[in-house]
Amino acid sequence: MRWLKWTGIIAAIILVITSFMPWVFIASKGITVTGVDSTGTNFGKPAYFHFLAVFFFLLFVFVSKLWSARGNLIVTALNMAWAIRNYFVITLCRGGDCPEKRIAIILVVAASLLMLISALFPPIKISGKTTNRGMSI
């Protein structure tokens, strides 16, 4: 499963790159919304949470401990939830005006899903440690 670790790293890079690409185009206002520039809307800067999640994902991937694998699962689950939230909130039709979806918003969700899958199967070897009762784990 070592290739899955590299798949997650590549997905994290794709997530950062697609955060700067156009997510939707609102034709009535003439606005192109990206993850870091949503001027003219009330979306804020939704990609900043993705940047934070990618930072912790990469940090936990390169630390080969059990706690980092568990932390990585939490980080990627939150990242996936944020990606789904962004997809539904940003592409939602408002007042009869539906924005045109671009490929980058779909790639954000796909990259987040790949990161989550790679966090589900971490390449960790647990040594035979003993618990408080003297039983091996």
36 is in which domain, residue-wise?
2-120
In a domain, 28, yes or no: yes
Count Cβ neighbours within 10 Å for each residue of 45-75 and write b for 16 or more, e otherwise. ebbebbeebbebbbebbeeeeeebbebbeeb
Average pLDDT over every residue of 65-84: 93
* pLDDT number for residue 136: 46
Q: Is residue 109 part of a domain?
A: yes
Domain assignment present for 128:
no
Confidence check: pLDDT of 1 > 60 = no
Judge whether residue 40 has pLDDT over 60.
Answer: yes
Please state the domain count of the chain: 1
Average pLDDT of the chain is: 88
Amino acid at 45: K
- The reported pTM is 0.84
Examine residue 137 and state whether it is found in any structural domain, yes or no: no
Residue 114 has pLDDT above 50, yes or no: yes
